Amino acid sequence: MNIKTRIKEKGIDAIIVLFIFLTAGIYSCAAQGQSFRPFKYMGFEGTFGARSFKINSSITQLNQMAVLGQGGTLGLVFGNDILRTKVRAAGFYYSSSSTPRTIDLFESEALLNFYPLEYFRRYENALDIYLIGGVGIDNIKFYGHYLSEDTQKVNYSTNDEPYLGKLSQINLTGGLGLEYQLTINDDFVHLFAEAKYGRALHSSADRVAFENTSIKDFSSINIGVSFGICR
């Protein structure tokens, strides 16, 4: 491993650690300064939506290809009226029919949502906006018959495309969301729609053929619901 790679990996680790400390610090300030309980909301979340990105690659069949993935995520949500952390541990997107190659994307991410209008809120059930920031990990898997080294190994009598390789990457994410908040007794149900944009900090491939393959940028649109206990 060369010095440049080590510095880059250390920088990524530092960003993730900084995100964790910032989250803890902001929660503390919000709780003390605004008399908000740090964990007023605790529950689960599910989303459905689409992710799009463009591929840069030395593989001709992939280079400059636009990918549209459809799927969703499952995760946990906790926080208060001003700040909420969402840990989307399980996310899966599969390439749509408009994408010429089969590509599956497995996503995990930690997001911090900031609700600026809550400083002026007077009603419990209301429409709200929020800002999104976070860190994500993607595993992008490629399937098909377009690698020449695999040509002799493929059984074309089957309908399933063979697995070719995987690209793993760490992303920084930012975005904007719109949420309707409904609280009933000690329970909450929040309906939301959000748009995010991300950029890769680091990526690595599990096969030599994909070492010169990268995701330029990505965007996503999701709708979802979070629900749980409101204390």
Domains and CATH numbers, the chain: 3-230 (2.40.160.20)
- The residue with greater pLDDT, 123 or 13, is 123
Cα→Cα distances 9→12, 110, 168, 197, 205, Å: 5, 19, 13, 22, 15
Tell me, rounded to whole angstroms, the distance of Cα 65 from its chain centroid. Answer: 21
Q: What is the pLDDT of residue 231?
A: 80
Q: Say if residue 45's pLDDT is above 80.
A: yes
Which tens digits make up the pLDDT trace of 51-97? Answer: 999 999 999 999 999 999 999 999 999 998 889 999 999 999 999 98
Taking the complete model, does pTM exceed 0.85, yes or no?
no
pLDDT digits (tens, 9 = 90+) for 150-199: 544 545 455 678 999 999 999 999 999 999 988 888 899 999 999 999 99
Output the pLDDT for position 152. 43
Question: 4 by DSSP, 3-state: which?
Answer: helix
142-155 pLDDT, tens per residue? Answer: 999 888 655 445 45
- CA 122, 123, 129, 132 dihedral sign is positive
Q: In the numeric block, which tokens belong to residue 133?
A: 């920031």
